[in-house]
Homo-oligomer: A and B are copies of this chain.
Amino acid sequence: MSDLSSLRNTVRAFANERDWDQFHSPKNLAAALSVEAAELLEHFQWLTEEESKQLSDSKRAAVRLELADVLIYLVRIADKLDIDLIAAANDKIALNAIKYPADKAKGSMRKYTEL
């Protein structure tokens, strides 16, 4: 079984054991995912970009657990919507390759609509 399928099963069992299914509508999970992403961002908000590349051990450990929270909710909402995350990501990358051709997008973060 793939990593993500295995994690999905673990998260599903965790929620079932706690009767949390009733709270896990896609709407609520999308809100929770957004909240976790913001908790990650909070660690970086006052750092310079350079500082963000050189986290202290304690900061890095905290950031690691925030990444974990984002992944857990992401896997949970994908489970609820019956979406294969890896297939979706590969499809999105294929679309991005069309929107951002390497030669035009090189060294620029302009939106594809402005390229």
Contact = CB atoms under 8 A, between A and B. Distances in A.
B74 A70 contact: yes
Interface of A: 2-4, 7, 10-11, 14, 17-20, 22-23, 25-28, 30-53, 55, 60, 63-65, 67-72, 74-75, 77-78, 80-81, 83, 85-86, 88-93, 95-97, 100, 102, 105-107, 109
A71 B96 CA distance: 14
A84 B69 CA distance: 13
Given A20-B109, A34-B41, A3 B70 contact: no
Contacts of A92: 65, 68-69, 72
Nearest to A70: B74
Contacts of A2: 2-3
Nearest to A47: B27
